[in-house]
Structure 1
Amino acid sequence: MAAIHREPGAEKADKIVESGAAVSAVNLAEVVRKFSAGGALVADTRDILGALGLEIVPFDTEQAYMAGALEPQFDALGLSLGDRACLTLAKILHLPAVTTDRQWAKLRVGVDIVVLR
């Protein structure tokens, strides 16, 4: 979202996207919801996101178990399903998890965390 809306951290996000980023289908659903809430058509959202060239990774059974197991450890931080899906995918793909949530810097889940702002 930071890259699309040119928010603080967009330049860092651009570099990450250009290097070949992957996104969980759960996180894709969150982005589509935000665009739709702002009045965007799904077709337009698909075009905008498609232009970024992100790999969209289906959320499977193994990811569901891994994401669910994260929840008890991080209840105090209020991690959403999307947050846990992101962290799980980062762990599986051996990529950093990218966020704008500074609280994530406190997480110790076996993946590097990149906080955009």
Structure 2
Amino acid sequence: MLWREKGCDIVETYLPEALISSINLAEVYTKCTERGIDPDAVAAVVAKLPVTVVDFSAPQALLAGKLRPQTKALGLSLGDRACLAVAMMERATVVTADKPWANVGLNLKIVVIR
């Protein structure tokens, strides 16, 4: 959404109830750094969004680890599994641009935006 990529309009409809794991937020800031964008400036933008940052907990870490066998073939990373773990524990809808997530086979609502 920050880069106004295809599907950002769909993401925006989920913002009022959006959650993001602190792990995934770190990924956002990492991508900013890689693109030469000041992460502090992005943090100021993120702070104004109606998004709740969920501190990544030990139970979420355990669940993310347990998800590895069923997500390995899809190429899901630790950050991906962190997102899924938070969504599972919070009973939240997952919104992603990653098509393989639609085949993850978890009891989750997954919206693929493009």
Q: Calculate the TM-score normalised by the size of structure 1.
A: 0.93
| 1:27 is aligned to 2:24 | yes
| 1:71 is aligned to 2:68 | yes
Once the two structures are superposed, what CA deviation does each residue of 1:49-71 show, in whole Å capped at 9, x if it has no partner? 11222100011100000000000
Amino acid at match of 2:87: A
SS at match of 1:55: strand
Q: Calculate the TM-score normalised by the size of structure 2.
A: 0.95
SS at match of 1:5: coil
Distance (whole Å) between structure 1 residues aligned to residue 50 and residue 34 of structure 2: 23
Q: How does 1:11-90 map to 2 (within 5 A)?
A: 11-17=9-15, 19-90=16-87
Q: For residue 95 of structure 1, report the CA deviation from its aligned partner.
A: 0.8
- Percentage of identical aligned residues: 39
Once the two structures are superposed, what CA deviation does each residue of 1:22-50 show, in whole Å capped at 9, x if it has no partner? 00000000000000111122320211211
Distance (whole Å) between structure 2 residues aligned to residue 93 and residue 75 of structure 1: 23
SS at match of 2:12: helix
Structure 1 runs of 4+ off > 6 angstroms? none
The corresponding residue for 1:5 is: 3
Stretches of structure 1 that go unaligned for 5 or more consecutive residues are: none
Query: Is the 2:17–2:51 contact (alpha carbons within 8 Å) kept by the matching residues of 1?
Result: yes
Distance (whole Å) between structure 2 residues aligned to residue 36 and residue 48 of structure 1: 15
